[in-house]
Structure 1
Amino acid sequence: MRAASSPPSLVTLVFATALSVLSLNMFLPSLARMGEDFQADYALVNLSVAGYLAVSAVLQLIMGPLSDRFGRRPILLICMAIFACASVGCVLAESIWVFLGFRLMQAAVVAGPVLSSASIRDMYSPNEAASKLGYVAMAMALAPMLGPMLGGAMDMLFGWRAGFVLYSAFGVGMLLLLWADMGETNTNRSATFAAQLREYPHLFRARRFWGYTLCAAFSIGGFFSFITGAPLVAAAWFDLSPAMLGLGIGIITGGFMVGNFITGRIAAKTRLTTMILIGRIVASTGPLCGFVLFLGGQGSVWVFFGAAVFVGFGNGLTNANAAAGLMSVRPQLAGSAAGLSGAMTVGLGAVLTSLTGVFVSPENGPYLVLGMMCASSFMGLLAVLYVRWVDQRHPLPDAI
């Protein structure tokens, strides 16, 4: 098979991004059964999510700058090879600690969304990149929608290890696809790391970068709280099976797909912060209404998961536009910007995941989860309002 020499197709970037999402959520319905198999409590097994996110945060700080220096293609190929090998290790693990070790190595797959986003920004202008990122996110949203359902069904039929067998096959297949189609897109690489480091202070001092980054991080943060607390709430309050829980977790991406479809259609001719602001208002309103209904004794499975759909729709209007904005502050450091932003996003996700795992209980489940989703979405709203304030004081001709 000949190595690729032309820029990748959007389909390849969709698959690279989707695999990263699958690696996070497909096995979530199996957490309880994994704890029984390894004779470990829920908090320890939950490290397969929280620890994975923490390692992902660190790796993104490394991957982004490396791709700015050496290119997107070689870094992505190496990371995908690590993911495939780690997935095999998870299948063969006989103790919780061996499993967790290989599970943390699986975090290398986070190069998929980080470097796919950077590649798109390499090829397009800010608003056009937002449109393309919206279409990529809309297409790959099938991964979080179908992943938990597939994982729950495979657990019931074959046991939880079947999901990691599938991860192994996906990793090998993705490695071959990247080799054949992922040509280099970074044509403005730094000559040395020293030259690249001299550009970093400009990125770190950019207030728009931090505003967009915090907006993206808090937007995703609410989703992390949801996927961590939903299994306990589903079991304790609604008595859902693993397959039905997978369906419930997956429906949040229905709203996400619609939001990204709208982004793909109009982002190229709409101000980025306008799209983000609407998304943050919607994402804050949904869980707030759900929280109030539960307080009033009107809570139900439809209210709980319905509130999450609002978060998904709001994130669909937010994420692609925020990503395009933060990578456009210093285009020559698009990979570093994507990596730093991604690290902050998963770092905050790890914190919220850990807090949710520690404090959620059968008694407070829906209140805690909806409350954390609402608070995180509102912080994202404050962040985009800050970017708009900066734009008013120091307007840019491209209105990013």
Structure 2
Amino acid sequence: MSEKNAGQQYSTGWIMLLALLTSLGPLSIDMYLPALPQMAQDFNVSTQQIANTLPAYFLGLAIGQLIYGPISDRIGRKKPLYFGMALYAFASLLCVLAPDYWSLIAARILQALGGCVGVVMARAAIRDRLDVQSSAQAFASMMIVMGIAPILAPTIGAIILQFFNWQAVFIALFIIGLMCLLCIHFFFKETLEAERRLNLTFKQVFILYAAILKDKSFRFPMMAGCFTGAALFCYISSAPAVLMDDYQLSQQQFAFAFGFNALGIIVLASLNKRLVNKVSVINRLKIGGLIQLTGAIIIVISGLFAHAPFILIMLGLSMTVSGIGFTGPNAMALAMSKQGARAGTASAIMGSMQFACGLLGGILLNFLVWSHLLNMGILMLAFTLFGFVAILKVTQQLKLQNI
């Protein structure tokens, strides 16, 4: 990025728009969580089985981002947004009409293939316009705004379920998809000028993927962000079974507990933003990693008891989830800092790998044989531990660059 753009400021409205596009993912994941037991009854499967619609969504997110990234580097950011949002709205209606369990799985994959375009374009647009320090601040600002989504989403879902059945949740997502499409048309301005676009062939896309993954300035921060972020997906996949089945929380109580943990992300993301000029990016990343790792250890210890105190579980979950307010924006800023015109492809790789970890965690939950809580804790601990090792590699790399 040129010196002219270094330190460039961004408007609140711009961040709000990018946060709206990015928050489509949390809304699609979290809004229907209170409905999982009801859906399990309708489809005659267990709650944990119906929760497999979550890793199915992660699969669509992982695949879709790999497609949108290089396409956006070739044709710009706005055209893929049009296509993705239209596909998302259509797939949301398919979820409403799903006649059986496997049809719902397929519709969720298609829904994710459309909805993931927002997160890819938002990250790429920030990198198009801002330097590493400004982008870290922008990512933190965006995380604060989009952090509202996982707080409101389960609550909105629970309210809808008081009056309608679970299909109404997906009708609401369809309407939100249409709203995003209108916002893109009227308010999103192209951030990748024609002269900066990459003329990529199909073969060159794979060469570009390989080149980006070989870049240590991208690879290690990407791994740090993916593994620490995967702990959140383990939580999302397990929360309904742990909180509603095991601890007998109602739909409204579940929404409150889920929102409380999501609130932690906003608090730490806000603190992260305030510390931009006081604490280095890498130190903030390490602090977040330690918070998440500590929380995961508490969850594992809780899972070793037959019925651990609920407050202890909430403490561990809060730390593991809220730590992402530090690890997420700082890992993203470091990973994207040197990607330039290939930011769309780099953003796609990072997002795809993150959701691939979430998919892996969702699959492994079906094979672990202990309690729902201990299964979740083991996976959280594994992911956060791998993430912290990656953070240490990033620290080592930055020290070598300063020599």
Taking structure 2 as the reference length, the TM-score comes to 0.90
- Kindly indicate whether the alpha-carbon contact (under 8 Å) linking 1:131 and 1:266 is maintained by their aligned counterparts in 2: no
- Kindly indicate whether the alpha-carbon contact (under 8 Å) linking 2:47 and 2:241 is maintained by their aligned counterparts in 1: no
Deviation of the 1:79 alpha carbon: 0.2
Aligned: 1:61 with 2:66: yes
Change (3 A) 1:39 1:291: closer
Aligned: 1:82 with 2:82: no
Deviation of the 1:297 alpha carbon: 7.1
Deviation of the 1:209 alpha carbon: 1.2
Aligned: 1:308 with 2:317: yes
Aligned: 1:325 with 2:334: yes
Aligned residue type for 1:366: L
Aligned residue type for 1:182: F
Aligned: 1:137 with 2:147: no
Q: Deviations over 1:52-75 (max 9, x none)?
A: 111210111111111111111111
Aligned residue type for 1:77: Y
Aligned: 1:338 with 2:347: yes
CA distance in 1, matches of 2:198, 2:29: 33
Structure 2 match to 1:388? 395
- Kindly indicate whether the alpha-carbon contact (under 8 Å) linking 1:69 and 1:196 is maintained by their aligned counterparts in 2: no
Deviation of the 1:27 alpha carbon: 0.5
Change (3 A) 1:365 1:42: closer
Greater alpha carbon shift after TM alignment, 21-30 vs 366-375: 366-375
**Correspondence 1:275-314 to 2 at 5 A:** 275-293=284-302, 295=304, 299-314=308-323
- Kindly indicate whether the alpha-carbon contact (under 8 Å) linking 1:228 and 1:357 is maintained by their aligned counterparts in 2: no
Aligned residue type for 2:132: P
CA distance in 2, matches of 1:228, 1:347: 14
- Kindly indicate whether the alpha-carbon contact (under 8 Å) linking 2:231 and 2:321 is maintained by their aligned counterparts in 1: no
Aligned: 1:37 with 2:48: no
> Of the candidates 100, 121, 128, which is equivalent to residue 122 of structure 1?
128
Deviation of the 1:205 alpha carbon: 1.6
- Kindly indicate whether the alpha-carbon contact (under 8 Å) linking 2:302 and 2:374 is maintained by their aligned counterparts in 1: no
Aligned: 1:159 with 2:165: yes
Aligned: 1:266 with 2:272: no
- Kindly indicate whether the alpha-carbon contact (under 8 Å) linking 1:283 and 1:312 is maintained by their aligned counterparts in 2: yes
CA distance in 2, matches of 1:47, 1:237: 18
Deviation of the 1:306 alpha carbon: 2.0
Q: Deviations over 1:123-142 (max 9, x none)?
A: 11011101011011111101
Greater alpha carbon shift after TM alignment, 78-87 vs 42-51: 42-51
Change (3 A) 1:237 1:95: closer
Aligned residue type for 1:393: L
> Of the candidates 166, 180, 184, which is equivalent to residue 178 of structure 1?
184
CA distance in 2, matches of 1:224, 1:307: 15
> Of the candidates 239, 246, 254, which is equivalent to residue 255 of structure 2?
246
CA distance in 1, matches of 2:385, 2:141: 25
CA distance in 1, matches of 2:50, 2:305: 34
Change (3 A) 1:326 1:242: same
- Kindly indicate whether the alpha-carbon contact (under 8 Å) linking 1:73 and 1:184 is maintained by their aligned counterparts in 2: yes
**Correspondence 1:11-50 to 2 at 5 A:** 11-50=16-55
> Of the candidates 358, 369, 389, which is equivalent to residue 376 of structure 2?
369
Deviation of the 1:296 alpha carbon: 6.3
CA distance in 1, matches of 2:130, 2:18: 14
Deviation of the 1:357 alpha carbon: 3.6
Greater alpha carbon shift after TM alignment, 233-242 vs 83-92: 233-242
Aligned: 1:190 with 2:198: yes
Greater alpha carbon shift after TM alignment, 322-331 vs 73-82: 322-331
CA distance in 1, matches of 2:155, 2:296: 23
SS of 2:45 mapped into structure 1: coil
Greater alpha carbon shift after TM alignment, 193-202 vs 305-314: 193-202
CA distance in 2, matches of 1:282, 1:12: 30
Change (3 A) 1:272 1:102: same
SS of 1:251 mapped into structure 2: helix
Structure 1 match to 2:3? none
Aligned residue type for 1:72: R
Deviation of the 1:333 alpha carbon: 1.1
Deviation of the 1:356 alpha carbon: 1.7
- Kindly indicate whether the alpha-carbon contact (under 8 Å) linking 1:260 and 1:316 is maintained by their aligned counterparts in 2: yes
Q: Deviations over 1:121-180 (max 9, x none)?
A: 111101110101101111110101111122123223211111111001101111001110
Taking structure 1 as the reference length, the TM-score comes to 0.91
Greater alpha carbon shift after TM alignment, 235-244 vs 216-225: 235-244
CA distance in 1, matches of 2:25, 2:82: 14
Structure 1 match to 2:6? none
Deviation of the 1:191 alpha carbon: 3.2
